Amino acid sequence: MARKSHYKFCPETLTYNKIEKNFRTHFNQVLPYIIIASIFGILIYCFAAFIHKTPREKMLLAENLKLELNITKVNHRLKEFDSKLNQLEINDDSLYRSILGIEPLSGSFRKAGIGGSVNNLLNTNNDVALITSSSNTLEALFSRLKVQKKSYEILFNKAKLNSERLKHTPAIIPISNKDLTKIGSGFGMRLHPILHIIRPHRGIDFHAAVGTPVYASADGVVIKADYSTTFGNMVEIDNGFGISTVYAHLHTVIAKPGHKIVRGEVIGLVGNTGLSVGPHLHYEVHLNGVEVDPVNYFFNDLTPAEYEKVVEIAQQYKVSMD
C-alpha cells in the first residue's frame, strides 16, 4: 500500500502544497508513544520482579534464611552454655571452695574485661550486630571458662592435700541407685503429702523398697540413732569439718550412737516410719548447721550428665513423701 500524502492549503496562492515530513517531525510524532510504551514496560517488569524472583534471588533469600536460623540456634546454645557455666561458678564458690576452706573468687575477677551479660550481648535484631555480638559472647564465655578451669586445678591440688577432709565429705548416694530410677522429690518448696501445706523440703527422697540397705555417705561419728515424730527411725552422723548427714524414715537402725562410721558402711534399712506416705529414704546434708542441697555432694557417684539428670528428675516432683 502506498504511503498517503498530506497537503496544506495556501490562501495566498490558492493552491494545495504537499507537506514534506523530515525525521524530526516523524520522531516528535512517535515520541509520546515510545514514552508511554517504556513506562508500561517498566511497570510490567517491576510487577513481575516483585511477584517472581529470579533463581539467584531465590538462592540468596534461602541462604539468608538458613543463616538467620543458624545464628538463632547458635545464640540459643550460647545462652544454655552461659546458664550451665553460671551454675558451675555458683557450685565452685558456694560449695566446693567452702568444703576445702578456700575463699570464693570475686565476681570482678571471674568476669574481668567482659562487658555485659550474654542476654544483653545477644538482644539485638540487626543481623550484622548479632553476628558480632555472638562472636564477642563466645570470647567472653571462653574467658570465664579458662578462669573456671584454673579454679578447678587449684581445687584439685588442694583436695590432694586434704584427703582426710574429703573422707569426711558426703560424696556418694546413700542407697544403690545405678540407674537413677530411685530419685524422688528434691531440695526446695514442696507440698507435704500428710499436712497438705507447702513447706521447705530440706533434703532429697529416694524411692526404695522396705529393707533396702542405707549407706553412710562419708566418714564420721553417729551422734543420733533413735526415733523422731517427724523422721521416724533416723540416724544422724557428725562428719566433721562443719558437715553432718541425716538418714530418715528407716525401718531398721543398725548404727549405734558414738560409733565411728566409714563411707559405704550400712547404717540402716529403708522403711516407712514417721510422717511418711511410703517406703523411702529422706536424706539431708547440713553445712555449718544449715541444710543444703545433697545433690551437689554426689560427685563420687555421678558424671556431669548424670548430675543434670538427677537435678531434672528431683525438680519434677512437686509433692514430697514426708
Query: According to the model, what pLDDT value does residue 124 have?
Result: 55
Considering the domain architecture, whether residues 110 and 18 belong to the same structural domain is answered as: no
C-alpha cell, 4 = 498517503
Is residue 1 domain-resident?
Answer: no
Is the pLDDT confidence value at 222 over 90? yes
Query: What's the rounded mean pLDDT across residues 91-118?
Result: 71
Is residue 174 domain-resident?
Answer: no
Considering the domain architecture, whether residues 140 and 192 belong to the same structural domain is answered as: no
CB atoms near residue 49 (< 10 Å): 11
CATH code for position 230: 2.70.70.10
Is residue 78 domain-resident?
Answer: yes
Considering the domain architecture, whether residues 66 and 106 belong to the same structural domain is answered as: yes
Q: Where are the alpha helices (DSSP H) in 162-193?
A: 163-167
Is residue 25 domain-resident?
Answer: yes
Question: What is the tens place of the pLDDT at every residue in 272-319?
Answer: 998 888 899 999 999 999 999 898 888 777 777 777 777 777 777 776
Question: What is the tens place of the pLDDT at every residue in 4-22?
Answer: 666 666 777 667 666 666 6
Is residue 273 domain-resident?
Answer: yes
Is residue 177 domain-resident?
Answer: no
**Residue 206 · residue 320 · CB < 8 Å:** no
- Which comes out higher in pLDDT, residue 299 or 87? 87
Considering the domain architecture, whether residues 223 and 270 belong to the same structural domain is answered as: yes
* Residue ranges of E strands in the chain: 7-10, 15-18, 188-191, 198-201, 204-207, 213-215, 220-228, 232-240, 243-253, 260-261, 266-270, 280-287, 290-292
Report the helix count and the strand count for the chain, using DSSP H and E.
Answer: 8, 13
Considering the domain architecture, whether residues 224 and 301 belong to the same structural domain is answered as: yes
Considering the domain architecture, whether residues 203 and 273 belong to the same structural domain is answered as: yes
Considering the domain architecture, whether residues 36 and 128 belong to the same structural domain is answered as: no
Q: Say how many domains are in the chain.
A: 3
Query: What's the rounded mean pLDDT across residues 181-207?
Result: 80
Is residue 116 domain-resident?
Answer: yes
Interior CA angle at 269 toward 266 and 274, to 5°?
Answer: 135
Considering the domain architecture, whether residues 152 and 246 belong to the same structural domain is answered as: no
Is residue 121 domain-resident?
Answer: yes
Considering the domain architecture, whether residues 304 and 227 belong to the same structural domain is answered as: yes
**Residue 217 · residue 245 · CB < 8 Å:** yes
Residue range(s) defining the domain that contains residue 31: 7-51
Considering the domain architecture, whether residues 299 and 223 belong to the same structural domain is answered as: yes
pTM, full prediction? 0.54
DSSP code at position 192: -
Is the pLDDT confidence value at 34 over 80? no
Considering the domain architecture, whether residues 196 and 307 belong to the same structural domain is answered as: yes
Is the pLDDT confidence value at 128 over 90? no
Considering the domain architecture, whether residues 222 and 272 belong to the same structural domain is answered as: yes
Q: At 206, is the secondary structure helix, strand, or coil? A: strand
